[in-house]
Amino acid sequence: MTGMPVDSLGNPVTLDDAAHLARVDDFVQGLLRYEPRAARLLEIAEQESGALVQAYAAALQMFAETPDAPQLALPHLARAQAAAPRATPREQRFVAAIAAWVAGDIDRAIALHVEQSVEFPRDLVSVKLGQYHLFNRGDAPAMLRLARTVLPAAGEVPQLHGMLAFGWEQCHYLREAEDAARRALAGEPGEPWAHHALAHVMLTEGRLLEGQRFMAEMAPHWAGLNSFMRTHNWWHAALFAVELEQFDDALRLYDEQVWGVLPAYSQDQINAVSLLARLELAGAQVGPRWQDLAPWLAPRVADQVLAFLDLQYLYGLARAGRPEAERLLANMARHADGDRTWREVALPAAQGLMAHARGEHAEAARALALALPRLREIGGSHAQRDLFQQIYIDALARSGQLAEAQHLVQQQARLLPASRRLERQGRSLARALGIA
């Protein structure tokens, strides 16, 4: 490998033209830092036949999280596989991991990323992709193990500590999560995944005003990020406003920062659905925003890429009163025939969300109760999945199951004493039960 180009993390790269290394590093650093420059790799995808370049290009297509993403990735994958015999072992394994992703064999993709972390621990793109798949599986311990495996070899990289922080937080180790995030920020104050992890920690611990201030201070760093990281960090900032019942501020953040940056993108769409739903559940009036959002959700009826995404598309369409919600639910039911998690978790959750949106609260509570104990299996973070718990509590209260609703709300209020939303809901339920 003497004389081979080496990427910004020290990994040799097989290239036809060494001048293309700059675009490889745009992808590597852009992916780790959530910067749009990752897509610059596509500028060389037609000229550069190197296996890794083509595998990276295929990954960019897959990140669209659409049903046609594998088809768009296949030409790049075919070129990567054709070039693999002259690639390094690291590159060959990475190509195999992308091939597994495109084929829908996520178990194999994860196994290959885990192998890569042991043999080539400076391949942080592989670690990031492995964490992405594990996150979508709800396997937080494996996310953390993967990042910890490469720590001895890549401990100076701030972005790795951001990955560690989120892994720790999703495993409920909040002190360790904060320590890792602070270490990331000591190396790079603008590290957005560390901002994100700290927002999770502060929300979970009820440090609402501190979290609100922290995110406001970090916000100037987000302007140049890709739409996911920019809008998602603003979504986290808006959650603090919702808990504090600062509804005007939360709606302003929705209008100016959370929705509309890249409205066709899956993650931007679910940020919007989730924030509108939380605002309504907290008592805010969202006006015509459901109707404005729905046209962007309507094309998703046949997606069935990730159940976590479909559930939120469904709720948004149902809250807007769109007929596509029925078609999406029917498509989810068909997809569930061949997938146990979809059948036993996603489908009852979808039925519960549809019932809630229609005002059928007893049915919503019944169906959501089936899904909630296993909701982790469909992915998403604790903070994201809390939406479904909030909808469940609302359904309980509205269907007259006040004791169970009060039990759940008061548990949460004890953990987040600064939450005006929970304090108000708890007080209302206590009055209704005659215990106030």
| CB hemisphere CA count around 403 (13 angstroms) | 0
Query: Burial, 364: exposed, middle or buried (Cβ in 10 Å; 0-12, 13-18, 19+)?
Result: buried
CB neighbourhood size of 52 (10 A): 31
Domain assignment present for 433: no
pLDDT value at 1 more than 60: no
Task: Give 6's strand partners.
Answer: 12
- Distance, in Å, from the CA atom of 423 to the CA atom of 319, rounded to the nearest integer, reads 26
Mean pLDDT across the chain: 97
Work out the pLDDT band at 230, boundaries 50, 70, 90: very high
pLDDT value at 3 more than 80: no
- DSSP notation for 98-123: HHHHHTT-HHHHHHHHHHHHHH-TT-
What are the CB-based long-range contacts (under 8 Å, 24+) for 258-266?
258/231, 258/234, 259/231, 259/289, 259/293, 261/227, 261/230, 261/231, 262/227, 262/231, 263/296, 264/296, 265/64, 265/227, 265/228, 266/64, 266/65, 266/66, 266/300, 266/305, 266/309
What's the confidence (pLDDT) of residue 2? Answer: 53
pLDDT value at 81 more than 60: yes
What's the confidence (pLDDT) of residue 389? Answer: 97
Q: Which domain holds residue 21?
A: 1-154
In percent, how much of the chain has pLDDT > 70? 100
pLDDT value at 179 more than 60: yes
Contact 20, 41 (CB under 8 A): no
102: tokens are 């495109």
Domain assignment present for 389: no
pLDDT value at 283 more than 90: yes
Domain assignment present for 115: yes
- Distance, in Å, from the CA atom of 56 to the CA atom of 64, rounded to the nearest integer, reads 13
Domain assignment present for 65: yes
Looking at per-residue pLDDT, the higher value among 108 and 1 belongs to: 108
pLDDT tens, position by position, 100-137? 999 999 999 999 999 999 999 999 999 999 999 999 99
- Distance, in Å, from the CA atom of 352 to the CA atom of 344, rounded to the nearest integer, reads 13
- DSSP notation for 144-170: HHHHHHHHHHHTT-HHHHHHHHHHHHH
Contact 131, 167 (CB under 8 A): yes
Domain assignment present for 234: no
User: Considering the entire predicted model, what is its pTM?
Assistant: 0.96
C-alpha 299: how far from its chain's center? 20
In percent, how much of the chain has pLDDT > 90? 99
Domain assignment present for 35: yes
Domain assignment present for 390: no
pLDDT value at 400 more than 70: yes
What's the confidence (pLDDT) of residue 181? Answer: 98
Q: How many domains does the chain have?
A: 1
306: tokens are 């990730």
pLDDT value at 96 more than 60: yes
| CB hemisphere CA count around 181 (13 angstroms) | 23
Domain assignment present for 52: yes
